[in-house]
């Protein structure tokens, strides 16, 4: 059975996989992601996840590599991680009292024999109306500064959420159930 590598620096993705009982190693991909505004958001997250997985799979061709990427979509615009406090605050103000979509793309790659599987999941998240104090306090805490959409639903930002339609794991950053199923299928193929 092939070893599994998570090509991600996300502690939450690793935590989700550990909780699901998967035995894996974490190796950061080092791939420099760039959001391409004109690309369809689903294709974008799948593309970025695939590039991360391919980067690591080149170095570990005998293993199965998981790459993942998440973005937030609001008013047709794609948002990644906020670049600084001002952008973070503006992002949260736009989301206040409204619904947005969180998209997570996953790529599972095996270099030998060559196999690449990509998929994405979405969840619609509705925020309650946020006060300026809540936004300022959250931005100062820097909890969501390294997360797509500028918040971590599994932490303090859960108090911002009015409703979720979809899987919370997608919002956190990895649809675990399908990821595990696809890894198992890939291991059977080899």
Omega prior to 41 cis, within 30 of 0: no
Q: Which of 40, 69, 132, 169 is catalytic?
A: 69
Note the pLDDT of residue 1.
64
Span of 87-96, 165-174, 180-189 with lowest mean pLDDT: 180-189
| Pairing mode, strands 115-127 and 161-165 | antiparallel
pTM, rounded to two decimals: 0.91
Say which DSSP state 34 is in: -
Size (the chain), residues? 190
Our CA angle for 8, 13, 18, nearest 5°, is 115
Note the pLDDT of residue 189.
73
**Is 144 within 8 Å of 157 (Cβ atoms)?**
yes
CATH classification at residue 49: 3.90.950.10
Which residue range(s) make up the domain with 20?
4-189
Catalytic residue check, 69? yes
The answer to whether residue 37 scores a pLDDT higher than 70 is no
Number of domains in the chain: 1
Angstrom distance (rounded) from CA 39 to CA 50:
15
């Amino acid at each position: 059975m092939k070893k599994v590598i998570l090509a991600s620096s996300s502690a939450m993705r690793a935590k989700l996989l550990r909780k699901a009982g998967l035995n894996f190693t974490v190796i950061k991909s080092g791939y420099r992601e760039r959001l391409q505004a004109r690309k369809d958001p689903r294709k974008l997250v799948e593309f970025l996840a695939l590039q991360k997985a391919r980067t690591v799979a080149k170095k570990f061709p005998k293993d199965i590599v998981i790459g993942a990427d998440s973005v937030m979509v609001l008013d047709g615009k794609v948002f990644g991680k906020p670049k600084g406090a001002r952008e973070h605050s503006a992002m949260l103000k736009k989301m206040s009292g409204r619904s947005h979509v969180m998209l997570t793309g996953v790529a599972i790659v095996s270099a030998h024999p060559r196999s690449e599987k990509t998929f994405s999941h979405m969840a619609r998240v509705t925020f309650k109306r946020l006060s300026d104090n809540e936004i300022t306090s959250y931005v100062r805490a820097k909890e969501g500064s390294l997360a797509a959409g500028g918040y971590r639903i599994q932490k303090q930002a859960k108090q911002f959420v009015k409703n979720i339609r979809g899987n919370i794991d997608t919002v956190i950053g990895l649809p675990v159930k399908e990821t595990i199923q696809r890894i198992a299928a890939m291991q059977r193929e080899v």
